Chain A
Amino acid sequence: MKVRVDPDKCQGHNRCYSLAPELFDVDDYGYATAAGDGTVPAELVGKAKLAAANCPEFAVIIDDEG
């Protein structure tokens, strides 16, 4: 599983970062990107889904589900 953040949708709510700081980075302006190449370790799959389900902008996207 991988996560990514759609930069056109992210408005810097930082909900993903506060729920799953292991999986996201934020820049000086508060906009989020996936940490590293976005690969989600097995033990963080739940957190990745949580981050996606809490983004008010639908900007957190999960790829390669399963």
Chain B
Amino acid sequence: MAAADARPPVEDWATDYDIFDPSYCSDPGPIWADLRDRCPIAHSERWGGSWLPTRYDDVAEMARLVPALSSVEFIVVPPVPLRDPETGEVLRARPYAPPISSDPPFHGVARRLILPAFSPQAVAAHEPYTRELAHRLIDGFVGEGGCDGAVDFAQQIPPRVIAHLMGLDENRGDDFIQWVRGILELGATDPELRVATGLKMFAFWAEEIAKRRAQPGDARGSGGVPHGDFISWLLAGDLDGQPVDDNHAMSVCNLLLIAGIDTTWSSIGSALWHLATHPDDRQRLVDEPELLPTAVEEFLRVYSPVTMGRLATEDVTVDGVTIPAGSRVLMNFPAANRDPGQFPDPDTVVIDRAHNRHVAFGIGIHRCAGSNLARMEMQVALSVFLERIPEFHLADTRGPHLPPGTPDPTVIWAGGQVRGPRTLPLTFSTAH
């Protein structure tokens, strides 16, 4: 990231943190530990200015300060208006993605519209497809003796599962990957790319929605549980008795695609990174696959991908720190999940950790609506990978034990809003 390299180095993380600094992206744990002890809520003027809590209790308290900490601005950098390229008309002053961008009371209305598509029962309907997809991806590289665990596997699953869920063409998966990176990852530090990508997505949804208005797809399901054409199901829904208009439908579709893709691929990638660098944990999951559900929660805790934004609508005091009205707050769920006050030995992955109130999916009214889908994708992806390729390692011959602060040159981590490996070279025997 050339722009990131050009910035002055951080001297004091408590007053000048940089969430896109490569060292923060690759290994934020030591930074959070330092801030948690001496700060505990950091402030920085970088990237438009923001506040960064690091303690579990502070994050939990802040998640419940609704709407004093409003979700109208939920990304971690200042929003850029989306304009019609020809007329210059402002299409969106800031991202609008209900319910993630909503405060009560509309939040609850917008959330009820989509929740049935993500209940455990509804998600289970997508498991066979996810399993078949994971096998198909592994078929593509299992004979090669190596793969990029992020690019060839983790990254490929969520876009296709979400396409399957939404009734979209799976073959558009590569476009979806580019779009999501253009919005959340590369676009986070490149506003022009973010706007250009947003316009492409708008055009895509307008077409998909118009098609289904003209001829609704099969949104069949039992007991109101959709597992066919999500977009048609969405269009047939209601918002507290009001019909779902194109603007709302488009915003929800945008949200699903963006929130459902690089979050989950980051989680799958981080888990593969962990297993590639911790042979004992990998072997234990091969020997005791029944531990996988607990292990998935533990991977979610230690490698929580998502940090969400909030906007203070009034002065807010938490843990002795007053955050002025108008400030951006970063809901640091990943740091909360490493708080030793809540989790003994917090930086260690304990495959069978019994007490684990992790907040990787957030906490309070904005709990990730897709958490059951993400959990299913992680469990299926990891179980199929371990079944097909029970022994694998990082291709970097120096192994995982690099000096603290040294980024592993073979594994590139993205961070900011969503943290996870973007390259993950793995080697394995071709005997599988």
Contact = CB atoms under 8 A, between A and B. Distances in A.
A28 B225 CA distance: 7
B224 A18 contact: no
Interface in B337-365: 354-359, 361, 363-365
Interface stretch (B6-14, B93-101, B110-118, B235-243): B110-118
Contact of A56 (B118, B119, B358, B375): B358
Nearest to B60: A56
A39 B285 CA distance: 32
Interface in A28-66: 28-30, 50, 53-58
B81 interface: no
B55 to A, nearest CB: 15
Nearest to B293: A18
A17 B371 contact: no
A50 B119 contact: no
Contacts of B223: 28
Contacts of B364: 11, 57
Given A11-B365, A56-B359, A18 B119 contact: no
B359 A30 contact: no
Chain A interface mostly helix, strand, loop or mixed? Answer: loop
Nearest to B333: A56
A55 B358 CA distance: 8
Contacts of B363: 11, 56-57
For chain A, which range describes its interface: under 10, 10 to 19, 20 to 34, or 35 or more residues? 20 to 34
B372 interface: yes
Interface string A10-37: 0111110111000000111110000000
B104 interface: no
Contact of B120 (A11, A18, A55): A18
B355 A29 contact: no
A62 to B, nearest CB: 14
Contacts of B358: 56
B297 interface: yes
B118 A30 contact: yes
A54 B355 contact: yes
A51 to B, nearest CB: 11
B432 interface: no
B367 interface: yes
A56 B358 CA distance: 6
A11 B297 contact: no
Interface string B123-143: 000000000000000000000
Nearest to B115: A29
Contacts of A28: 115-116, 119, 121, 223-225
Contacts of A57: 363-364
A30 B372 contact: yes
A46 B309 CA distance: 37
B412 to A, nearest CB: 31
A6 to B, nearest CB: 14
B359 to A, nearest CB: 5
A14 B357 contact: no
Nearest to A9: B364
A50 B225 CA distance: 28
Nearest to A29: B115
Nearest to B353: A54
B116 A50 contact: no
A54 B356 contact: yes
Contacts of B356: 53-54
A50 B294 CA distance: 11
A10 to B, nearest CB: 10
Nearest to B368: A13
Nearest to B64: A57
A29 B119 contact: yes
Contacts of B372: 14, 30
15 contacts: A11-B365, A11-B367, A12-B367, A13-B367, A18-B293, A28-B115, A28-B223, A30-B115, A30-B119, A53-B354, A53-B355, A53-B356, A53-B357, A54-B356, A55-B357
- Shortest 7 CB-CB distances between A and B: which pairs? A11-B367, A29-B115, A53-B355, A30-B119, A28-B116, A56-B357, A56-B363
Given A11-B367, A50-B354, A54-B355, 12 more contacts: A18-B293, A28-B121, A30-B115, A30-B118, A30-B120, A53-B356, A54-B356, A54-B357, A56-B358, A56-B359, A57-B363, A57-B364
